[in-house]
Amino acid sequence: MEAASLPAALELAAGGGAGLSPEKRAVLGASLLLLQRDYRFERVWFWGCIQGVRGVYYIAEGLGPDRAAPRSRLYSLNCVEWSLLPPATEEMVARAEQLKGRFQGDPSFEYEYTEINAEDAERLFEDGKEPMIKEESRLVATIEQIDRAVGIIPRGAFVKTPLGSVRENRNFEGLSLTEAKKLSSYFHFTEPVNLKNKTLLEKADLDPSTDFLDSLEHDIPQGSWTVQLEKGGTVVVLRSLLWLGLTFYHVPMTKQYGYVYFGTGEKNLDLPFML
């Protein structure tokens, strides 16, 4: 969610009970604006929090002119001092998926190879690498996983230019209430997968400038999203059951939307058996 509208956005997404104290909101609102100035980001988003056993990671994302370009990710333990995270790699994501259990809240904490799949550990030994994962690497990979799986935007909020870059749509005035209640009106804000598999006939009905991402209606497993009306029916809220703690909000007929994550950074692997 946008750093500039953080207090109001947190109020709209707070229906699930998660949120920040007034003190944290005030400190975060000021430090994110300084972060944007110091790193010269065009926009800064407050991504959310990952709760560890001994501490909390506050996450922010910095964006450039091309919204589809890889985002810069930063974390803080106190909402004041921020550290830049390294870019996520496929190897990081694959190794982090092997880890189970809570985050510790210490970026320098190392997960021993006994906590990693035996085959992966053996391969690392052969490659001459230490079979350890620092919590900082796991943090990067988890943020990447969550963004890929449940980072979403409303249809029409962004447009793809003829040159391939993605920009905010200045003409976007929000979804109607009817459209806002449909999963097909929301897109994953990441590289599309299902779109590439569609036939030419199916693509004929799509607008290439706005329908360039995968919609939520075909997410697997079916039923992994809940859609609710809150604040007297004036706010549409989507919550992920796959990554518990991810909340998306949109005020129909306005430009107000965003998502935030308040959780432990653990995927709900039991979801297929719960539906």
pLDDT for residue 124: 57
pLDDT for residue 190: 87
pLDDT for residue 11: 84
pTM of the model: 0.86
What is the DSSP annotation of the chain?
A: -BSTTHHHHHHHTGGGS----HHHHHHHHHHHHHHHHHHT-SEEEEEEEEE-SS-EEEEEEEE-SSTTSPPEEEEESSSSS-EEPPPP-HHHHHHHHT--S---S-TT-EE-GGGS-HHHHHHHHHTT----EEHHHHHHHHHHHHHHHH-EEETTSEEE-TTS-EEE-TT-----HHHHT-GGGEEESS--STGGGS-HHHHTTS-TTT--S-BGGG-SSTT-EEEEEETTTTEEEEEESSSTTEEEEE-TTSS-EEEEEEE-S---TTHHHH-
Domain boundaries defined on the chain: 153-258
pLDDT for residue 219: 85
pLDDT for residue 4: 74
pLDDT for residue 126: 61
pLDDT for residue 253: 93
* Intervals of the chain under pLDDT 50: none
pLDDT for residue 186: 93
Query: For the chain, what percent of residues have pLDDT higher than 90?
Result: 43
pLDDT for residue 210: 79
pLDDT for residue 17: 66
